[in-house]
Structure 1
Amino acid sequence: MKSYWTLLRTPGVSRLIGAQLTARFPFGMLSLAFLIHIEHIFDSYGAAGLVLGAMSIGQAIAGPLTSRLMGQLGMRPVIIATMFICAVSIVVMALVPLSVLSLMLIGFVAGLSTPPIQPAVRTIYPKIVNSRQLTPLFSLDASAQEIIWVLGPVIATFVALQVSTTAGILLAAFFLVAGGIWFVSLPEVGRVRIPRSRRKLGVVLKKPAVLLSTIVGFTLVAACAAVEAGVVAVFGHGSADAGWVLGIFAIGSLIGGLALGHSPIGPWALAARMLIVTIGLALASLWLTFWWLSLALLVAGVGIAPAFAVLFGIVSASVKFSDTAEAYGWVGTGQLIGAAMGSAIAGFSIDHSGPVSAIYVAAGFAALGCIIPALGRRWHPDLRGRDISPIPDTEPIQVQVS
């Protein structure tokens, strides 16, 4: 723990983590908030799944595109423009009575304008800490990120139950704008300039580590989103138990991130961490009681933040600095699609087969996320004892001969 406190005292680190957490927090709330909101309006989890699916398509397109634009236009202009469009779209979906088709169209716009906060902050980190601090920083960031993906739905659930589903969505829009303004105002955002990439869009996915991180990130977040939908369905909209269970899920992830943050990242690291998640979710499907779900999801949570830390680390060590933003854009796209698709598939499963089917869906996603890195371990970088900073960009130097 001492090393984390030392890291947080490094100039710029704590405010970057705080600002990016606030700006990205809505995307941990919105999948479940819209799931509850739209199901309440149309009495169908399937309708909610369609809207979330449309949003995920927009996010899939936006991730690498907006990340790459930051190298051309700068971080601040791109983040401010996307933040404004996304916030307006979310507010319209919350306040204006619309058909499912209209909600799908506006949801697509909201997804397309998702601010590229994650690629921006992951690009900045190597410029404000030394190489020895980068692995613990990624672990700390991954632990904090679980506040977004796991604790965010807890807040969305509580607000939806205690106030209204509309209030939950509007609260997410507030976090988006407030956090976005805080983030773009930081001096580190202005000082770090992303070099213009010379490669075509998508070429970075030819890096095995980037593709592996994108796919496994998708399965991991999809598992989290599916289990969140399942827990809400188990306890119903009239009970706060769902919020408590998901809060324990978040605590497990925070514990895992802080405890395993300094563990060596070898070829089996990602598969091992995903195995923890898979075991916990499989256990959760056995009995749908409050205490059993709490215990099983506590176990599952222990593997989540450490898995994210590995994802970030292997990407950082495998690409040039000019490609980091796009690479993290693809990884973020995988995670955002996972959040929406996990909720959507779980929603349809709940409609047809009951709440336990969503837990099965979650365990299935997690198992897939364990099998893929196990089979592809030869493409998983061995970072034990290595510097995980991005590869420096090199340019030819003109020499004048007299």
Structure 2
Amino acid sequence: MAGYRDLLRTRGVARIIAAQLTARFPGGMLTLAVLLHIEHLTHSYGAAGTVLAAVSIGQAVAGPLTSRWMGAWGMRPVLILTTAVQAVALLVLALAGLPVPALVVCGVVIGLSTPPVQPAVRTIYPKMVNASRLTRLFSLDASLQEIIWVVAPVLTTFVAIQISTVLALLLIVAFLLAGGAWFIFSPEVGRVRIPRSRHALGRVLRKPAVILSTVVGAIMLAAISSLETGIVAAYGEGGLESGLILAVFAAGSLVGGLGFGHLPMGPWSAARRLAIMAFGIALTLISLNAWWLGVSVLVAGMGIAPVFALTFSIVSASVRFSETAEAYGWLNTGQLIGAALGSAVAGFVIDGVGPSAAFWVATGFAALAVLVAAACVRGFPDLRGRDASPQPDTGMIQTVTGSFRTP
């Protein structure tokens, strides 16, 4: 813990972490708020899951595109534009009373306009600390982001169920604008300039570590989103249990991330950390009792932040600095595709079979994530004894007369 305290004392680190967490807080509210709002309007978890999948698909498409735009136009213009468009789209979703097809279109716009805060801040981090401390900073970021998932579900379910789903969406808009302004106008955002990528969109996916992290992240998020949808279906209309259980889920991730997310990362680290998550999710099959689900998701959560920390580190260590934002955009895209798939599949099996079916779906996705990580272990880099800094875009080459810098 002393290492984390030292990191937070580094100039600007505490401020940028707090700003980006606030800017990303709406993301922790969005899934539940949209799910509950659309279900309330249509009385169908299938329709709600479809709209939520539309949001996730829009986010998935936007991820690498808006990340590359930050290299071409600068961070602040892209962040300002996307924040404004998403705020308007959320207001339409909350207040317009649209039919389901129009709600799906609105969901796509919400997703497409998601501000690329995560790629931005994870591109900034290597410029704030030395290479030996970068893995620990990624671990701290992955752990502290779980605060969002501890607080946001409880706040969302309380406001949506006890007051109004419309008010829950309006609250998201308020956080989006306030948190976005804090992050956008933080000094660190103005100091770091992302170089324009010299390669075609998607070429970074040729890096084995990037494509593996993207695929594993997609499957892991499918497991998480289907589990969350099952929990909401089981308890969402009857009280605050769903929000509290999801908060425990996030608390487990926070504990796991701070406890061992920063440990040396070898090729088998992904499979081991995913196995913790899969074991906890499998425990939910025993009973839907709220107390048992709380214990199960606490165990499952302990593997999540460590997996995020691992993927952030291996992607950073595997690409050039000019490619980092796009690489993180693809990583986020994979996760969102997984979330869309998981929520949609869970929504339809809940309508057809019942909430218990969603937990079987989640267990299947979690087991698949472990199998993929184990089968592709040779594709994961060994970061034990290495730092996680991106590769420089320029380097020194020796000539007869001396040295010069070249792309």
Q: TM-score, normalised by structure 1?
A: 0.96
Farther off after superposition, 296-305 or 240-249: 240-249
Question: What are the Cα deviations for residues 55-105 of structure 1, in whole angstroms up to 9, with x where unaligned?
Answer: 222112110000001000000000000110011101110111100011111
RMSD: 1.7
Letter in 1 for 2:102: S
Letter in 1 for 2:380: H
Question: For the residues of structure 1 that align with 2:256 and 2:396, how far apart are their CA atoms?
Answer: 44
CA drift of 1:157 comes to 1.5
Contact in 2 for aligned 1:32/1:343 (Cα 8 Å)? no
Farther off after superposition, 143-152 or 172-181: 143-152
Q: CA separation of 1:205/1:101 partners in 2, compared to 1, >3 Å: closer, same or farther?
A: same
* Pair 1:20-2:20 in alignment: yes
CA drift of 1:236 comes to 3.9
Letter in 1 for 2:237: H
In the other structure, the counterpart of 1:272 is 272
Question: What are the Cα deviations for residues 135-164 of structure 1, in whole angstroms up to 9, with x where unaligned?
Answer: 111111111222334643332212211211
Alignment of 1:311-326 (within 5 A): 311-326=311-326
In the other structure, the counterpart of 1:297 is 297
Question: For the residues of structure 2 that align with 1:145 and 1:341, how far apart are their CA atoms?
Answer: 23
Contact in 1 for aligned 2:56/2:336 (Cα 8 Å)? yes
Contact in 1 for aligned 2:53/2:339 (Cα 8 Å)? no
CA drift of 1:186 comes to 0.6
CA drift of 1:132 comes to 1.4
In the other structure, the counterpart of 1:37 is 37
Contact in 2 for aligned 1:153/1:228 (Cα 8 Å)? no
| 2:145 partner SS | helix
Contact in 1 for aligned 2:46/2:344 (Cα 8 Å)? yes
| 2:205 partner SS | helix
Farther off after superposition, 231-240 or 335-344: 335-344
CA drift of 1:238 comes to 2.2
In the other structure, the counterpart of 2:404 is none
Farther off after superposition, 5-14 or 362-371: 362-371
CA drift of 1:399 comes to 9.3
Question: For the residues of structure 2 that align with 1:138 and 1:122, how far apart are their CA atoms?
Answer: 8
Question: What are the Cα deviations for residues 351-375 of structure 1, in whole angstroms up to 9, with x where unaligned?
Answer: 1111111111222222222111111
CA drift of 1:286 comes to 1.1
CA drift of 1:337 comes to 2.8
- List alignment gaps of at least 5 residues for structure 1: none
Contact in 2 for aligned 1:31/1:343 (Cα 8 Å)? no
In the other structure, the counterpart of 1:157 is 157
Letter in 2 for 1:249: F
Contact in 2 for aligned 1:278/1:300 (Cα 8 Å)? yes
* Pair 1:72-2:72 in alignment: yes
Deviation beyond 4 Å, 4+ runs, structure 1:
395-401
Paired-residue identity, %: 61
Q: CA separation of 1:97/1:327 partners in 2, compared to 1, >3 Å: closer, same or farther?
A: same
Question: For the residues of structure 1 that align with 2:32 and 2:342, how far apart are their CA atoms?
Answer: 10
Alignment of 1:141-290 (within 5 A): 141-149=141-149, 151-290=151-290
In the other structure, the counterpart of 1:51 is 51
Question: For the residues of structure 2 that align with 1:179 and 1:336, how far apart are their CA atoms?
Answer: 22
Question: For the residues of structure 2 that align with 1:395 and 1:263, how far apart are their CA atoms?
Answer: 30
| 1:79 partner SS | helix
Contact in 1 for aligned 2:149/2:247 (Cα 8 Å)? no
CA drift of 1:229 comes to 1.4
Question: For the residues of structure 1 that align with 2:357 and 2:85, how far apart are their CA atoms?
Answer: 36
Question: What are the Cα deviations for residues 299-329 of structure 1, in whole angstroms up to 9, with x where unaligned?
Answer: 0011010010001010000000000000000
| 1:317 partner SS | helix
Question: What are the Cα deviations for residues 228-256 of structure 1, in whole angstroms up to 9, with x where unaligned?
Answer: 11112212412112222112111111110
Q: CA separation of 1:153/1:221 partners in 2, compared to 1, >3 Å: closer, same or farther?
A: farther
In the other structure, the counterpart of 2:109 is 109
